[in-house]
A and B are shown apart, each in its own frame.
Chain A
């Protein structure tokens, strides 16, 4: 409680300064002189890293892969733009990330008149004011990562269930006048998590928060977005209506199944893309990517695949599935050629993985040397993991919009790209009122 009062006092003090200045300070655990290059003798280990060590790692030079120690180093090194570039790639010591800075200020390390006073004050000064980030129970790991990058702590909320299985949400901190971000993904028990999200939004709204934004990396019911059969519901529209009614003012998602879902809402929706992170991963981790072929496992993904193929300047192909008819086996035809090349299958969701495993068989049959799969949302339900273990994939790469720790243990072929920095940057930019469009083509930090 005292921390809270001190918090507000310092905020009031800083009221006259511009918001930018707050970020030009150093983390209190670092030595006084902020002009020291970050690799000079800092070894303050981060306790949080040891606990979240994913079991599978292949190459250490993949900055985008989920490796907590690596990301810490990348954070600070990439943020200090005025450093010598050669130093960045040599040092591998672990040190704290410096507070987030805006990307277009290369003079960020100039001595700032407020730095001296910033030192003497506590940690709260260096954080962004008036923002609270809550985590739902679907993906606490992602929320922790996002908050680390924002130099915040996950705000306290107790999420429990009553004995009759009703969700019980209690917000543990004051949110009056704050910008609230609630991070909840469509993973695990989707209906429970959706209900929890709605109740949290409503709780923050009626607690007089300034603005409530829901950060939903994987949007629930996104595939039921059109009436393709008689009497089929458009559940995505229903979810959009429920979120608006609960009181959300802003939605941040990643790679919506169809970008038209943005139109289902009357509130602003930011649809971020994992494509830059995937491209980065392909360039850094797949040997011979320059001669690879990007393949779409079905007709609907053709547009996505051609976009990636164009950016990498490689060929593309697609697999056309002919529907099952009476007394006929489902036939898959390959349109295009993969003979003697590395095939990269790209899809937006990996659910039961039936289609992509059959596609992999087809590609190997057609002469592909190796087959990789990239999916943004790795749902992996039902027999997916057994299918993948028995499949011909070299590696299946997903992002951590949905928690992947359990899946990576059960299937060693699964690799995970960490997209928390994209979400954290989107939150920071939305909170500061800066443009988010930079994120559509760049991967921040990493």
Chain B
């Protein structure tokens, strides 16, 4: 590995403890060494950051992703950013491929918008820019008061589909729930395939909102005819809208965490006649016993990127395949550092993606 000293390049790449392998791959591609900084938890569990080299006047790039220890990752990131800011670095760019708390991006009854809080904290700590991959909802860009770049993993996945799935022309893109329809359509557009939607899955309790006894007045106002209470959603059992018989089904989603919903969808697709079922998800969080569930399900393969570390899960389930996106992250860092346009990275991306 060429040992170009950081002092001449003006770029410093730092990382926390969330994903050391990705940081190593990115630094190899960029041909610079990782900055010398130790990030660790002290004995009282407080995060401590020690940057051992000078960052004065440098462009600092902090690579941190969400992982199992979400809160530790967020805290490490904030302390790293602040340490660089108070050490007079010129700009601080945060590269966060998987943004934690991104699912809590809207108000559900009386919850808080945790993503907004995290965004404000990151900007307040001193970040001048954020780069992420496949944000859960694109509107999250507006939560930050600094510029946000939302890179896409879809070019990698499309490449993977074309090379690794032999008869992909006989496939159909399936949206696991109606909320992912946009993403499914964008893939279907670029591959010239049809779409199908699965509906009726068991949703989280937060969505329904009628069990909350804090609603005023008490929900039993059905005694008054002229003020009918809202009918509760009567979710049908899982149904597929669209034709999947005799085809390969490719389910597209952004995060695969608790595999239960994917497994249930796969069962339905199998029952409807799909002979192979692939799952493509950008962030493979795969928590609790997702690997075991996937191993026992009719899913043929699960394709994720290496934004979230999942080596342990790979050992337990052989269906999980990884696509490497460090190339895109490295290219983004290079272009930001040299103040070049990032338009090339979004060349093949459609409006829906």
Q: Which A residues have a C-beta under 8 Å from some C-beta of B?
A: 77-78, 81, 85, 88, 103-104, 225-230, 234, 236-237, 240, 258-264, 269, 271, 276, 279-280, 299-300, 302-303, 305-307, 310-313, 316-318, 320, 322-323, 333, 335-336, 434-435, 437-438, 440-444
Contact = CB atoms under 8 A, between A and B. Distances in A.
Contact of B178 (A78, A104, A305, A320): A305
The 10 closest A-B pairs by CB, nearest first: A104-B217, A260-B139, A441-B230, A302-B178, A226-B138, A310-B233, A302-B181, A237-B142, A299-B185, A299-B181
Given A437-B215, A441-B209, 5 more contacts: A78-B227, A226-B142, A263-B142, A306-B178, A310-B235
A240 B139 CA distance: 13
Contacts, number: 154
A335 to B, nearest CB: 5
B179 A227 contact: no
A442 B209 CA distance: 13
Nearest to B114: A263
Contacts of B106: 259-260, 262-263
A303 B177 CA distance: 8
B221 A103 contact: yes
B197 A302 contact: yes
A444 B217 CA distance: 12
B5 interface: no
B178 A303 contact: yes
Given A300-B182, A336-B242, A440 B209 contact: yes
A260 B242 contact: no
A320 B224 contact: no
Contacts of B184: 299
Contacts of B110: 437
Contact of B352 (A104, A271, A300): A300
16 contacts: A77-B226, A78-B226, A78-B227, A226-B138, A227-B141, A227-B150, A230-B341, A262-B107, A263-B106, A299-B352, A302-B178, A306-B178, A311-B231, A313-B231, A320-B185, A435-B214
Interface of B: 105-107, 109-110, 113, 115-116, 137-143, 148, 150, 175, 177-179, 181-182, 184-185, 188-189, 194-197, 199, 209-210, 212, 214-218, 221, 224-236, 241-242, 341-343, 346, 350-352
B226 A299 contact: no
Given A263-B113, A440-B209, A302 B175 contact: yes
A312 B140 CA distance: 32
Contacts of B235: 310
B352 to A, nearest CB: 7
Q: Which secondary structure characterizes the binding site on chain B? A: loop
Contacts of A259: 106-107
Nearest to A262: B107
Contacts of B105: 260, 263
Contact of B142 (A234, A302, A322): A234
A240 B228 CA distance: 35
B349 to A, nearest CB: 9
Nearest to B353: A228
Contacts of A77: 226
Contacts of B107: 259, 262, 269, 271
B216 A438 contact: yes
Nearest to B234: A313
Contacts of B194: 320, 333, 335
B178 A85 contact: no
A103 B343 CA distance: 55
B151 to A, nearest CB: 12
Contacts of A230: 341-343, 346
A227 B151 CA distance: 11
B181 A323 contact: no
A316 to B, nearest CB: 7
Contact of B143 (A81, A264, A299, A441): A264
A276 B210 CA distance: 14
Nearest to B236: A310
A303 B233 CA distance: 13
Contacts of B181: 299-300, 302-303, 318
- Which has the most chain B C-beta neighbours within 10 Å: A230, A234, A276, A306? A306
Nearest to B178: A302
B154 to A, nearest CB: 14
Contact of A437 (B139, B216, B233, B242): B216
A225 B143 CA distance: 10
Contacts of A335: 194-197, 241-242
A226 B105 CA distance: 14
A310 B234 contact: yes
B352 A258 contact: no
A308 to B, nearest CB: 9
A81 B105 CA distance: 40
A434 B216 contact: yes
A78 to B, nearest CB: 5
Most buried by A among B231, B234, B342, B352: B231
A322 B178 contact: no
Given A302-B175, A310-B233, A260 B142 contact: yes
A229 B236 CA distance: 38
Contact of B139 (A263, A317, A322, A441): A263
Given A306-B199, A336-B242, A234 B141 contact: yes
Contacts of B342: 230
Nearest to B210: A441
A434 B226 CA distance: 22
Nearest to B104: A263
Contact of A442 (B212, B229, B236): B229
Residue of B107, B178, B199 with most chain A CB atoms under a 10 A cut-off: B178
Contacts of A318: 181, 197, 241
Contacts of A303: 177-179, 181
Contacts of A307: 233
Most buried by A among B137, B139, B184, B189: B139
B221 to A, nearest CB: 7
Contacts of B175: 302
A289 to B, nearest CB: 13
Contacts of A263: 105-106, 113, 115-116, 139-140, 142-143
Contacts of A240: 142
Contacts of B352: 299-300
B272 to A, nearest CB: 14
